[in-house]
Amino acid sequence: MRVGVVVYGPLDERSGGYLYDRRVADRLRDQGDVVVRVTLPERSPRRALAHTLDPRVYSRLAAVDVDVLLVDELCHPSLVGIVGRLPQPTVAIVHHLRSSEPGPTFRRRVDRALEQRFLAGCDAYVFNGQATREAVGRLVDPAPAVIARPGVDRLGGDPPTPEVVRDRATEGSLRVLVVGSVTPRKGHQTLLDGLADVDAPWRLDVCGAEPDPSHAAAVRARAAGLGVADCVHFHGRVSDADLRAHLRKAHLFAMPSTYEGYGIAYVEAMRAGLPVVASSAGGAKEFVDGENGVLVDPGDAEAVRAVVERFSQDRPALARASEAALTTARSHPTWEETGDCIQAFLRSLHTAARSAGV
C-alpha cells in the first residue's frame, strides 16, 4: 500500500503530535508500505487559509500517487476547502482540536467552523483517544474511525522495577519535572505559582524547546518574581539520553496545561515510574485515576501546590503513586502496536474501496 502523510514542515518529533505522525509513518514503512511525505509550508492559521484558495496546492495533493492520504488535522487551515475534492481517500489524524483550546470566543468559533468543514470533507479518522473522538463527534459523524492510543516506549530501555521507584520516593528533596515546549498552553506559569507556595524543599527541571522567546522570558521572569529562580533549572530541548536521565532523577512529573488532546509526555513519565500532575482538560482523564497522579484544572495553582506538598511530606504515598504509574504504563501499547493498529485500519479502508470499485 502507498500512504501519503501530510504535515506542516519536516516530519520530526518537535511535539507530541509530530512524534505520533513520525512513529506511525516509520512503522508503516517498516511493515512494507511505501510512505510519501507531503510537506505544506508552515504558516500562521490566518495565512494558511490562503492555501485553500490556491489551485496549485490542490493540484499538488491530487497528483500524489498514493492509495490513501493521512492528513494531520493540524493542517486544516490550509486544506479546509480542498480535502473533500481530492481523488484519494483522505484520513484525518486528529490529536486534538484547536477549537478545544481556551481562547477568545470569536477565535474559537472561527476555529470550530473551519475544523468542522475540514473534518466533514475527510473520509475516515484516526484518534489518539476517546476524548478526541468525542470532541470530533460534536462537529461531525466520526466514522469510519479507529482509536490508536500513543505508544509509551519511545525512549527505549526497560522501565524501572517497583523496588527502584519505591526507593527513589524516599530520597532527597522533591524533584519535579516538566517536559514540553515552553508555550502558554503548557502551563509553566501555573506550575511556578503553585510550587512557590509549597512548604517544603523542591527543585523543578524544565525540559523543552522555547519557540517563543518572549514567553520563555516571561516564564523566567515569573520564577524570579516569585523568588524561586534558584530552584528552577531550564534545560531547553534535550536529547533522549538526557531526558532519560532527568526521568530517572525526578520524583514527580507536572504539566498543568490548559489543554492536552492526550498527553504523550504524561504516559512516558509514568513508564519511568513518575506519578503525574496533569490537566483535567483533554485526554489525560482517560488514564490519570487519582492513584497514579492527580488531575488539576487549568490555571489552578493552589491544586498544584497541594499535590506537590502532599507528595513531598508523605513519601509512602509518593511510592504508592509511583508504582501505580508503572502499572498504568504497562497497559499502554508500544509504538509498533500503535502503527500496526493504524495500518490494519488503512488496509481495511483500501480493501473496501477496491471492492466498491473506487
* Cα(275)–Cα(300) distance, integer angstroms: 18
Report, as an integer, the average pLDDT of 182-203: 97
Which whole number is the average pLDDT over 49-78?
Answer: 93
Phi-psi bin for 290: left (phi > 0), alpha (psi -120 to 50), beta? left
Determine the pLDDT at residue 69: 97
| pLDDT value at 50 more than 60 | yes
Residue 357: per-residue pLDDT: 64
| Residue with the three cell numbers 520530526 | 12
Domains of the chain are 2-151+334-355 (3.40.50.2000), 162-330 (3.40.50.2000)
User: What is the torsion angle, in degrees rounded to the nearest 10, for the CA atoms of residue 14, residue 20, residue 22 and residue 23?
Assistant: 130
The pLDDT confidence band at residue 101, using thresholds 50, 70 and 90, is confident
- 23 pLDDT band, cuts 50/70/90, is very high
DSSP 102-138: ---HHHHHHHHHHHHHHHHT-SEEEESSHHHHHHHHT
Give the C-alpha distances (Å, rounded to integers) separating 217 from 117, 229, 258, 348: 37, 12, 19, 49
Mean pLDDT, to the nearest integer, of 25-30?
A: 97
What cell does 24 get?
A: 506511525
**% residues pLDDT > 90 (the chain):** 89
Q: Mean per-residue pLDDT for 224-234?
A: 98
How many Cα atoms occupy the beta-carbon half-sphere of 315 within 13 Å?
A: 13
Average of pLDDT values for 238-242?
A: 95
pLDDT on residue 42: 83
pLDDT for 44: 81
Residue 353: per-residue pLDDT: 77
What's the mean pLDDT in 195-223?
A: 97
- Model confidence at 193, pLDDT cuts 50, 70, 90, reads very high
Is pLDDT at 358 greater than 80 in this prediction? no
Provide the pLDDT confidence category of residue 52 given band limits of 50, 70 and 90: confident
Q: What pLDDT score was predicted for residue 15?
A: 87
Sheet holding 90-94, edge to edge: 34-40, 2-8, 68-72, 90-94, 124-127, 145-147
At 179, which amino acid appears?
Answer: V
> If you average pLDDT over every residue of the chain, what do you get?
95
Average pLDDT over residues 202-231: 97
Return the pLDDT at 287: 97
DSSP string of 6-71, one letter each residue: EEES----SSHHHHHHHHHHHHHHHTT-EEEEEEEPP--HHHHGGGGG-HHHHHHHHT---SEEEE
Residue of higher predicted confidence among 30 and 49: 30
This prediction has a pTM of 0.93
Sign, Cα dihedral of 32, 128, 209, 7: positive
Cell numbers of 103, please?
A: 481562547
Which residue from 64, 85, 86, 73 is spatially nearest to 142, judged by alpha carbons? Answer: 73
